[in-house]
A and B are shown apart, each in its own frame.
Chain A
Amino acid sequence: MLARLLSKDLPRSPWLAALLVILFLGLAFAPFLFPGVKALNVAAKVLIFIALVASFDLLLGYTGIVSFAHTMFFGIGAYGVAISLNAAETPGWGALVVGVIAALLISLVLSLVIGLFSLRVKAIFFAMITLAVATAFLTLASQLSDITGGEDGLTFRVPEWLSPGFRLREEPLQTPLGEVVLNGRFLTYYLLFTVVCAIFLVLLRIVNSPFGRVLQAIRENDFRAEALGYRTVVYRTLSNVLSAGFATLAGCLLALWLRYNGPDTSLSFEIMLDILLIVVIGGMGTMYGAVIGSVLFVLAQSYLQDLLRMAGEASAGIPLLPALLTPDRWLLWLGLLFVLSVYHFPTGIVGRLRERAWRRFR
């Protein structure tokens, strides 16, 4: 049953399996285990990143294509929901569905055009073109302030059931760990959780299907794949479209959770770098790497900065070191980590754990 659900792509390492079970349980019961606004925000961010990064892994890890336009599709999703709910008189489920579908359609067309146009040639070409298109899109989104709200972004109301004011039960639920308020945020969190689980399982299904095998063949040797009779352009484009679609869905979830969207929250280049970092550190081409990487990264983002602040204060007086250790420079350390992991751990955390398990098994 479980093997079927995971498309027979099991963790293949006891440590990895244990880690995944802990993370799954932690996320599933996050509102009960970690009451508090910040903790729930962190958990929701982890969920959104899991969907976003897993969809990027389909492209980078399984098909071997580097795209810098992934945040563009993420942003399209977020803007689709934001614009639609912002325009609606009374924000209801209808407006939400319209927004999601419109965003998916736009992403579909855009990714298809970019894919057909630039995936015929070298991978490097695609990377450059997507970088250019994504930057242009970001500029466009912040310029068209009538529609997108410009730099300020859009704040909007969500369907009533999901708004913080909504109560499922008047009195808070008493649990051994404290009180849990059953409000709209609680429901939104579980909506996110369900959708992200579904996205992840579908992606796992895709990469373990015959279609996914062809993608991996293209990654390993596109010339040979073509020689075997697979139209590599078609497969690459399909992979691009699928990954864009799932990124769009992740964007919709982000907008729904934040009840706000602006260029910096969903389109900025920093998020693209974050995605790259997570995929590489978690493990390219493993899907589970997206889970492990997202959790580590978001936790680091939320709590590493505090650690750096402490280190910076401790090193006060030594020249240059405090400037290197301020929380503002945390991207520097992540960048170093990124470069080192591309060199030394090209398979990421998941790859390492699997290697270890495999060696012991032998």
Chain B
Amino acid sequence: MTLLKDMDWKPLALVPVLALAALPAVGSPSTWLTLTVAGLAMGMIVFIIASGLTLVFGLMDVLNFGHGVFIALGAFVATTVLASMGTYTTADSLWMNLLALLPAMLVAMLVAGALGLAFERLIIRPVYGMHLKQILITMGGMIIGEELIKVFWGPEQIPLPLPEALRGSVLLGDAAVAKYRLLAVGVGLVVFAAMVWTLNRTKVGLLIRAGVQDREMVESLGYRIRRLFVGVFVAGSALAGLGGVMWGLYQESVIPQMGHQVNVLIFIVIIIGGLGSTLGALIGALLVGLMANYTGFLVPKVALFSNIALMVAILLWRPQGVYPVTSR
């Protein structure tokens, strides 16, 4: 029970507090419910993408400005896979639709993971421990990746329609909740659960957590942290690919620049969460998702600025993010 007692609950409470605070501002409860589910769905997708980045940073002190490439790549691979599935996506059966989505997600994760492996080897490995060069190099990698996507898929926006049975919305009371958003929340929860299980209940997870706390100590105990890091990097890239598919379906279209656009959100999320903290990333993602949807409804012109304001407010409260990782 000491774990529960030692737990810092205040940041966790922020999410419901923000949601409840928005209720009077929005007015009608049904609109509020729609917006809240949309916010949670967006938050979950953002979390899927951000979790890999924050772990990579926590474990190896590498901040990958090129993370957006994996997002865009995943989404573009999904357009190709879904287009080749033919009747599976157009049939009005939930199971057949999911049967089409599943391979799309898997292939996207595989491709993004493979690119992650190459990216780590070619771009990041030579610049370990040099922050300035890391930022420059990964930014360069991002430019190259984005341009290569344009070479293969063209520079224009490509529609990524939702499969038939996932379109439209279900009614919860008076509130219309888009079906896909429920699915996104579900997938996000599955990823989060898998991650928590891996980090807390497996040997690999133990090593990762130990590595985040004190890399040299883990190395001196005889574990090859480099190899662990490559694994985390590939997993993080694959998750970004998955998140890219989800994000593309959420927007129902993909453009090569989407990686950069999402990147900005992701950075805000991991700054709010505390660089390197997984739970922090979840809270940050949910806060950002909710905030974006509420302000998008109330004052659309300042939607992106509201996230900056949120970040500033959080940093004034806790300058290292809601869950600062020790030794950073």
Contact = CB atoms under 8 A, between A and B. Distances in A.
In the complex, which range does the number of interface residues on chain B fall in?
Answer: 35 or more
Q: Which of A120, A131, A144 counts the most chain B CB atoms within 10 A?
A: A131
Given A122-B131, A124-B135, A273-B139, A332 B151 contact: yes
Given A338-B143, A342-B136, A139 B131 contact: no
Contacts of B147: 329, 331-332, 335
B131 A123 contact: yes
Contact of A129 (B131, B271, B302): B271
B136 A66 contact: yes
A284 B323 CA distance: 36
Interface string B124-160: 0011000111011101110110011011000100000
A339 B144 contact: yes
Contacts of A131: 263-264, 267
A339 B141 contact: yes
B305 interface: yes
A332 B132 CA distance: 22
Contact of B305 (A128, A140, A346): A140
B267 to A, nearest CB: 4
Contacts, number: 99
Given A60-B132, A66-B135, A125-B275, 6 more contacts: A124-B135, A131-B263, A136-B308, A323-B151, A334-B143, A338-B143
Given A64-B132, A131-B267, A328 B155 contact: yes
A135 B143 contact: no
Interface string A111-137: 000000100111111011101110110
Interface of A: 60, 64, 66, 117, 120-125, 127-129, 131-133, 135-136, 139-140, 143-144, 269, 273, 276, 280, 320, 323-324, 328-329, 331-332, 334-336, 338-339, 342-343, 346
Contacts of A139: 304-305
A292 to B, nearest CB: 18
A346 to B, nearest CB: 7
A336 B139 CA distance: 11
Given A121-B319, A132-B308, A339 B131 contact: no
A132 B155 contact: no
Given A132-B268, A342-B136, A117 B315 contact: yes
A132 B305 contact: no
B253 interface: no
| Main SS at interface, chain B | helix
B123 interface: yes
**Main SS class of interface, A:** helix
Nearest to A334: B143
B63 interface: yes
Nearest to B303: A139
Interface of B: 63, 65, 123, 126-127, 131-133, 135-137, 139-141, 143-144, 147-148, 150-151, 155, 260-261, 263-264, 267-268, 270-271, 275, 301-302, 304-305, 307-308, 311-312, 315, 319-320
Contacts of A343: 126, 137
Contacts of B302: 140
B281 to A, nearest CB: 14
A329 B151 contact: yes
Nearest to B123: A339
A334 B147 CA distance: 10
Contacts of A332: 143-144, 147-148, 151
Nearest to A219: B132
A323 B150 CA distance: 9
Contacts of B268: 132
Contact of A124 (B63, B137, B140, B143): B63
B143 A132 contact: no
B305 to A, nearest CB: 5
Contact of A66 (B132, B311, B319): B132
Contacts of B270: 128
B299 to A, nearest CB: 11
Contacts of B308: 132-133, 136
A140 B304 CA distance: 8
